[in-house]
Every structure is written in structure tokens, then in C-alpha cells.
Chain A
Amino acid sequence: MDIELKREGISSLYVKTSGRLDLDNSVEYGTKIKETVEDSEDIKILILDFKDIIFISSFGLKIILELHKQMMERGSMRLINVSEQILKSFKMVGFDKFLVIE
């Protein structure tokens, strides 16, 4: 799984990946982001690009919740380019109420 991590300015981190956020991939995706965020304390904004993500399972959702909790302590998190299909999954578990989705 290719995970693209890009620093934008001093305070934000842009993450983009493609394919499925499921049992197989989500742990790798989550771990990589968490480590990066923990390493540099000046990251205040996390931007997750969902443009090429075609599927998210409950494991993916759990990772997103964990990331959200982590970023709430220091700044904020944004999800961009979320497809209708993925948004449905967020809505089903009520994540749309607190996630910033664009």
C-alpha cells in the first residue's frame, strides 16, 4: 500500500493513499500517520485525502476515530475528497457528527 505523507507548511500534514482501508491496510495506514504525528510536535493540522480510497471497513473507521482523538489534543483533522459511498459508512456509525469532512 502506497501512503503519501507530505508536510504542507510548518503545521500541517497531508496524507493520501489509494484502495481499501480494511483489515489488511488500515493498521499500516494508521500506524504510519500516528508515528509521523508523534515525531514532530509542530503538526497541528492533519489532512486526510480520501480521493482514491474506494472502501472503508469497520477497522478503517476505528483507525479514523483513533486519529481524530489524537489530533483533537493538539489541533484538528480534516477529511477531503470523501466519496458518497465512504460518507455513507461514516454516517452509519455517526462519525459525520464530529469529523470535519469536505
Chain B
Amino acid sequence: MKKTLKSEIITITLSMLLILFVVFALFAFLYYKDTELLMLNFTSKNIMTYANNINKEVIKIEKNAYDLALMGELYYKFDRNKSIAEKTIVQVFDNYPESLGGGVWFKPYVVDRSKRLLCMYAYRNKHGNVVFDPKFESEEYNYPDKSWYKEIFPFINKKDNIEWSRPYYEKEGSDTVMITAGAGMYDNEGNLVGLSTVDWEVNSVIKTISAIKPSKNSFSLFANPSKDYVIVTNDPYLKDKALVGASLKNIPWYNDNLINVRYMTYQNKEFIPYVKILDNEMILIVCVPKNEFLAKMFHSITIFCILLTFLALFLAYIVYSGLRKNIMYPIGKLIYIANKISKGDNDIEIKIENPVEFEKLASTFDKMTRDIKNITKEKERINSELNIAKSIQISSLPSVFPPFPDRQEFDIYASMDTAKEVGGDFYDFYFMDENHIMFIIADVSGKGVPAALFMMTAKTLINNISQIVKDPSDIIEQINNKICASNKNGFFITLFAGIVDLRTGKMSCINCGHNPPLILTNDGKYKYMDLDQNVALGVFENMNFKIVDINLNPGDIILTYTDGVTEALNENDDMYGEDRLKDCLNKNKDITNIKDIINTIKNDVKQFSGSVSQSDDMTMLIFKYYGSENPNHKYCKVLANKDNYKVFYEFIHNFCNEWKISEDISNKMDMCAEEIYANTEFYAYKNVHEGYIELYVTKEDNKIILEFRNNGVEYNPLKRSDPDITLPPEKRSLGGLGIYMIKQMSDEISYQYIDGINILKLTFVNNS
């Protein structure tokens, strides 16, 4: 497969992309483990942020408890003014919006021996206002009996001065589930006199914990420091079990070593547990399903890949469009221009400005085009001159056949098919006197313009001499001497000439080194003529030439030709040869029309040559002798004027009678002849006074051929469009009717304009 620049560029770009992908894939593979770690850290940090937030809240609550404890101690040690203390509590609460409620509780009888219970407890009511409620001091409430009191008070000491209760439901006050943090209050001697409490709403903890969702199915657990109370869990597999408040031991997946484990198996799935112990030793555990974790990881890798792909494609597009603009486009332009130039369009300005290399190339191209333009012009000039030379050469040969329609004793036809180059073939024929016709065929050695020029000289020379000199051997000797005298370039001419006495059929044949002619005599076969060979003309001066006289009988045919026929080559470099020529003629010896004979030979040679083009001129001249009178030819020539038409139609009626042509056809010929006669009178000679019209009639088997000639202005009647014969009479015009009738009546019709002669040929088939 052929490569194009476009495909190459695309291939390079694509392979670049491929390499990029392979490198990336390798990179991704190599750094997969690291990426995993990175993700673990990332997730861990993410979870820690949540944990820290919770931790902060815890610390704040604890701080709140300390503050309240301090406030309680001040109350106990100094003024024991309850209203001031309550105000201070409200102020403390204002600083801790996380706290649901809180206060100070004194040991029974420690403040006042007569009053067992003493506390100051405030909470946020449903409207968000901080309120005190005296019922907490009542005997019914009896706070030392409350679970939170029992859970905190006994465990506080100076060293470990803060304790957390388990979650509990408080119907009084806040009416919600809460956890309470408590701090101890001491007298000057360091004895524990009471505790402060701050309530933390569990619902808000649940909300915070539930919000920790690093992936869809991850879940968390929050437990108290002694691990015997699960505060919150949103483990989806334990949803139905009332595990809140249970010990961590009841959690199926939990063990104390969890903090050191990277993966744990639970419900046939792998999870990554993140464990965080808060400052108050509460435990926060977040479990992330491994597959989701990896999916997340892959998700980010995929996004990265897609981004990279787009980036790579974008880069590839930039590279491709850059190459396209800077290389392919200028090259395409140059190719387009080169194509145009090769088709002959040289008037193109080439403009490419970028890149510089192409600008240079374009300007070189431009210069080349201009050079080609000049060379082409020169070549065209030479070519046209050569063509003119060729046409002058060809037009110097007689080309109207039959050339002497008034002479019925013979028929002559010749044709020359020229090769590309001008050559030196020629033929000629003319009457030497009323009864002697001379025909020649000749070939000047060599090719090209010199040969053609020499041929013209020789042809004129031969014509001139044969008009003056009558004896055949004298003619040829003089021609030879003249040619020798004017031949400085060493040309020579092979020639065959025949001089026929039309009265007797005696023919003088002269062959000067030319191909032997073929003759068809009444024995019905073409034969090569056995003639004495003379030296070609222009070789030696003062030569004697041998003339051979033969007798022609009516019907005899002589075919002469040049070596262009016999030396035509085929694809195997075989020559057509004399045998093939003879065989071809004998196979077609029934053809009587001499023009058809020549065409048959031409076709045979063409078929033989196949695709090989003609390398030499192919010239043939054929002569047929009919005897002193030819019963199949009629000729009539009249001045085309108003009065002479009678002569014309009488001529037609005469040969119709003689040849027993049916009245129908004779009428048709009459009508056609009249129309053509009138046309000749009206059109052909409209600019001159009058001229001749010739009618040359040939009978060939059942065909009658009428050939009308005049040498008036060129007029092709067949070009007239046909009238519409379906029109009603009032719309009918008179023009074109006659030509239309001719076309209808004749079986064949053709028009030619050769050498200033209008030739209209009508063929009628006589079926009777």
C-alpha cells in the first residue's frame, strides 16, 4: 500500500498517543500500591477531621463542666448567694451552645445541715432559653439516686476529675436522650463537696457520627471509654438489633486489636477499620468497605485517565493540525498546482508564505512554471509549425476521389496515414496527355522535416518533368539526374511509377528500389509483379533505367504501397510483411470498390499491430483499369443556371433507362437532383455569376451512387434542421422541405468539403 503524508502523520500522532498511554499504564501499575496507601491516608485524614470535630465538642463540654465546677466551688467557699450563682450559670451556658443543660449538685447536707438537697440546674427549653427549674432540688427528683449521679460521683477524684455517664433518658427538663459529663467540686481541704454536670444531647452526636460517610456503605460506631456502652452505631447489618447501650463485646466485628488491623472481614466483605480514641477515651470506629474504597480509588484514577486522554487527544490534535497547516496544506497546494501545470494550465501564481522552506520551494516552483511556460510556448510554436508543414505536405497530395470523374476508363484511389513525425512518403497522378495517365508512389529515405522538404522538391520535379518529357525512360533518367544534382544531403527516393495508355491498356512500369506492387488479373488472384529492379533515385547520376511494359485488361487492379504497410510491427516485433498483405487481398478479392480494398488492408494492418502505434507513414495507391469504356460509370457536367436543369434530368433519365432502374427510384433521383441543382445555383454560386455542377454516377451491384460536386462556397445542406411535417398548412414554411425530401428518399447521404469542392453523395438501393 502506498503511504500518503496524511496517513504518515496520523500514524505518527497515533503511535505517539499509544506510547503515552503505555507509559501511563506502566506508571499506574507501578504506583498502584503507593496510590492505595495514599488513599488510606487520605481517607484516614478525612475521618480524623470528623473525629477531631467530635473531640473538640467533647473537650468543650468537659471545659464547660470544669467552669461550672469552679463556679460551684466559689459559691460554696464564699457568698453562697444563689441568685448570683444562677446568673453566672446562665453566662457560662451562653459560652457553650453545644451544652443542653447543666448545673452544680452538692453532696447531701454539705452546704446546709438542715437541707439535704441543694443544686442549681439550668437547661435549654424548647424555645432555646436557659431556664432554672426548682423541681430538680425536690425530694421527688432526688438527684443522688439518679443513674448519672451514681455513675459519675463515685469515680471522681482530684486526679481524674472528669467522668462521663452512660446515655440516659431524662424526662424532666430537656426531655431527650443525653450523656452527661461531670467534674468534681472541692472545699479548701480538698474534700469532694459536689459535682457539676453538663448534658450532651445524644441526637446531635448521632447526627455528627452518621455524617461520617467516606463511601456509600461505610458505617461508624461510637462507644464510651469503658467500652461497655455503644453510644451510636449505624452498622446496617445490626440495624434491627438494639445494640445501643450494649457492650462493645456484643459487636460481632469488634476486637481490641482493631487499631492495628488494615483489613477486617465482616459479612463476607472486607472492610477497612479506622479507629480513633477521643481525649475523653471515647472510641470512634469508621468501617469503609474495601471494594468501595478501591472503587473510589479507581474512580479517581479513571477521571485522571479521562483527563489525560483528553489532554493527549488535544495534544495530538495540536500536533496534527500544526503538521497539516505547515506541511500537508502547502504540499497539497503544490500538488494541486503541479497537477494544473501538467494539464497545461501555466498561468498560476504560487503563493505560500509559511513555513519559510515551503515559501522557498514555492518560489522555485514558480520559477520552474515560468520556465515551463516559456519552453511550452517554444514547443507549441515548433509543434504548430511542424503541423503546418505536415498539413502542407498532405495537402500537396491529391485528395479528391475520383479525381477525374469524367474519365470512365479507370478508377484511382490513394491514401496516406501519417505517423506522428512528418515523413517522406508521397503519391501523385496526372494526365500526361489526353490518353496517358501517370501515377507514382514514392518514399524519401529518412524522416522528419528534411525528408518532407526533399519530398516536396522531388514531387514538383517529377510533375514538371513528366509534363514536358513523354518517353518513360527519358522521364525517369531526367528525374534521377535532377534529383542527384539537387541532393547534397545524400537523400534517395524509392519510387514506383506507372504510365497507362488508357486506349490500349498498355502500362509502362518503372520500379526504382520500391516495394513490388501487387496485381489482380483476370485469373482472379493478387500476385506480386515481377519487375526489373532499378537503383533508387538520387544515388547515381546518368543511370539507365529498365522499363517493363505490361498489358492491362479491363478489371485489372494494381496496388502500390510503401514500406509503412509491410513493415508495420506488432507487439512481438513481427513485421506485417508481404505475405500477409497478399493473403489479405486474396481473402477479400471479391471487393470491387477500390476505396474499400484499401480500407480493408488498413484494418488488417491495424488489427495486426494491436496496441503498437504506427511508426512510419502508411501510403497506398490503387489503380483499376476498366478498358476504353466503363459501363458502370456515368458523368455529367453542366453550368448551374436556370436553363440547364433539363440537361441534368435528361442525363438522369438516360442512365436510368439504360440500367433499367425502376420508375420509383428514378423519380426519387430526379427530385433529389433537382433540389441539389437548385441549391447549387442558389447557394454555392450566389457570390459568383455561375459555376459548374458535376454529377458522377456509379453502379455497384444493386446500389446507385450519385456524387454531386461543385466548387462554390462551402455549404453543407445536411446541417439544415428538418421541417415539422405534422404542422397545419398555415404554419408550414417553405424552407428545408427539399433537403428533408432528399434525406427521406435516399438510402445513404454524406457530405464532404475537400480542397474547395463540395461533395454530396447519395446512395440509392435498387431492389428491383
Name A residues whose Cβ lies closer than 8 Å to a Cβ of B. 20, 22-24, 55, 57-59, 61-62, 65-66, 68-69, 72, 85, 88-89, 92-95, 97-98
Contacts and interface: CB of A to CB of B under 8 A. Distances in A.
Given A72-B729, A98-B729, A92 B744 contact: yes
Closest 7 CB pairs of A and B: A94-B725, A58-B738, A57-B674, A62-B734, A98-B729, A57-B671, A23-B645
Given A58-B738, A59-B678, A89-B671, 11 more contacts: A22-B649, A22-B670, A57-B674, A57-B675, A58-B674, A69-B730, A72-B729, A92-B741, A92-B745, A93-B737, A94-B726
Query: Is chain B's binding surface mostly helix, strand, loop or mixed?
Result: helix
Given A24-B645, A85-B663, A93-B740, A65 B678 contact: no
Interface string B629-647: 0000000000000100110
Given A24-B645, A89-B671, A61 B737 contact: yes
A22 B737 CA distance: 14
A58 B741 contact: yes
B670 A55 contact: yes
Nearest to B671: A57
Contacts, number: 63
A101 to B, nearest CB: 13
Contacts of B732: 65
B708 interface: no
Contacts of B175: none
Interface string B641-678: 01001100100000000000001100100110011011
Interface in B203-237: none
A55 B730 contact: no
Contact of A62 (B671, B674, B728, B737): B737
B493 to A, nearest CB: 52
Nearest to A93: B725
Given A61-B737, A62-B737, A55 B744 contact: no
B105 to A, nearest CB: 137
Contacts of A59: 674, 678, 738
B646 A24 contact: yes
A3 B745 CA distance: 29
Contacts of A62: 734, 737
Given A62-B737, A93-B737, A23 B674 contact: yes
B674 A22 contact: yes
Contacts of B730: 69, 72
Contacts of B737: 58, 61-62, 93
B744 A58 contact: no
A23 B675 CA distance: 8
Contacts of B664: 85, 88
Nearest to A27: B642
Contacts of A89: 671, 741
Contacts of A66: 734
B722 to A, nearest CB: 11
Contacts of B677: 23
Interface string B306-318: 0000000000000
B671 A58 contact: yes
Which of the listed residues B728, B732, B741 has the most CB atoms from chain A within 10 Å of its own CB?
B732
Interface in B738-763: 738, 740-741, 744-745
A55 B740 contact: no
A78 to B, nearest CB: 14
B540 to A, nearest CB: 63
A48 B89 CA distance: 149
A22 B729 CA distance: 21
18 contacts: A22-B674, A23-B677, A23-B678, A24-B645, A24-B646, A55-B667, A55-B671, A57-B670, A58-B671, A58-B675, A58-B741, A62-B734, A62-B737, A65-B732, A68-B729, A92-B741, A93-B723, A93-B740
A55 B617 CA distance: 51
B390 to A, nearest CB: 43
Nearest to B726: A94
Contacts of B649: 20, 22
B674 A98 contact: no
Contacts of A22: 645, 649, 670, 674
Contacts of A24: 642, 645-646
A88 B741 CA distance: 11
A72 B731 CA distance: 13
A10 to B, nearest CB: 26
Nearest to A66: B734
Contacts of A61: 737, 741
Contacts of B671: 55, 57-58, 89
B645 A69 contact: no
Given A24-B645, A57-B674, A65-B729, A93 B667 contact: no
A62 B726 CA distance: 16
A38 B646 CA distance: 31
B626 to A, nearest CB: 32
A64 B744 CA distance: 20
Contacts of B675: 57-58
Contact of A65 (B642, B674, B734, B744): B734
Contacts of B642: 23-24
Nearest to B736: A58
B399 to A, nearest CB: 32
A1 to B, nearest CB: 12
A31 to B, nearest CB: 15
A85 B745 CA distance: 13
A18 to B, nearest CB: 16
Interface string B183-211: 00000000000000000000000000000
A62 B741 CA distance: 12
Nearest to B664: A85
A42 B671 CA distance: 36
A88 B645 CA distance: 23
A72 B671 CA distance: 27
Contacts of B646: 24
A69 B741 CA distance: 21
Interface in B668-705: 670-671, 674-675, 677-678
A93 B725 CA distance: 6
A55 B672 CA distance: 12
Contacts of B725: 93-94
Contacts of A94: 725-726
A58 to B, nearest CB: 4
Given A57-B670, A57-B675, A85-B667, A93 B734 contact: no
